[in-house]
Amino acid sequence: MSLKDKIILGIDPGTTIMGFGLIRVNNQAMELIQLHELQLKKYNNHYLKLQKIFNSTIAIIDEFHPDQISIEAPFFGKNVQSMLKLGRAQGVAMAAGLSREIPITEYSPKKIKMSITGNGNATKEQVAKMLQSLSLIKEIPKNLDATDGLAAAVCHFYNQGKPQISKSYTGWKAFINQNTKKIKTSSWLVFIFIILSVARLAIIVISIFLPKLNIDNKCSRL
């Protein structure tokens, strides 16, 4: 697909700061449209954060009408809870794009860094400096989440037309067809999580009322 006169929205998912970068591509020329950061630190409720992510992504889509979305895939870390929260943030942003039927492509963090700097282990600062050298940004911002979002968009521009090595979705149907096993697995995981949660609740209830029952029994004997 040609990228003549196209708008690409790059997204860097996060639960503290969400980064967005919009570029316009005309032939082989890139032009920055906007950098945007969604600050989520002030929200303590994780589900409220997800709502803000969805609404903000929809607002950006409806204002700038991107033709394609490029999003950074969650990385695998040691902290399982952080990974789950990051995955939810990415999923909500993807859901916003899919609801507007915008094609979405996922790229690994290493792939994005490699595309921008030639080094898959580059730091956020090195990525930002390379974007600056490409004349996409004049100054490097304090927080680098927006430049990471911009990097995702530029990565997609560089990899357009190359053999597909990243996941790409054109809508809900495509997403479901490509993730049938994951969806089935997720359903079982949700079921197991519910069972474990009920069991945990039962243990808590028993631990609260059992001592009281023992005391009442002793008193009745006296």
Known catalytic residue at 145:
yes
Query: Which is it for strands 29-39 and 6-12: parallel, antiparallel or unpaired?
Result: unpaired
The catalytic position among 37, 72, 106, 148 is 72
Phi, psi of 33, rounded to the nearest 5 degrees: -95, -50
Contact 102, 68 (CB under 8 A): yes
Q: Kindly list the strands in the beta sheet with 29-39, ordered across the sheet, starting from the edge strand earlier in the chain.
A: 29-39, 17-26, 6-12, 68-72, 104-107, 168-169
Known catalytic residue at 12:
yes
Residue 174's contacts (CB-CB under 8 Å, 6 or more residues apart) are: none
The catalytic position among 12, 37, 106, 148 is 12
The catalytic position among 37, 106, 145, 148 is 145
Give the C-alpha distances (Å, rounded to integers) separating 96 from 50, 92, 212. 11, 6, 50
CA dist 124 and 21 (Å) reads 15
**Active-site amino acid positions:** 12, 72, 145
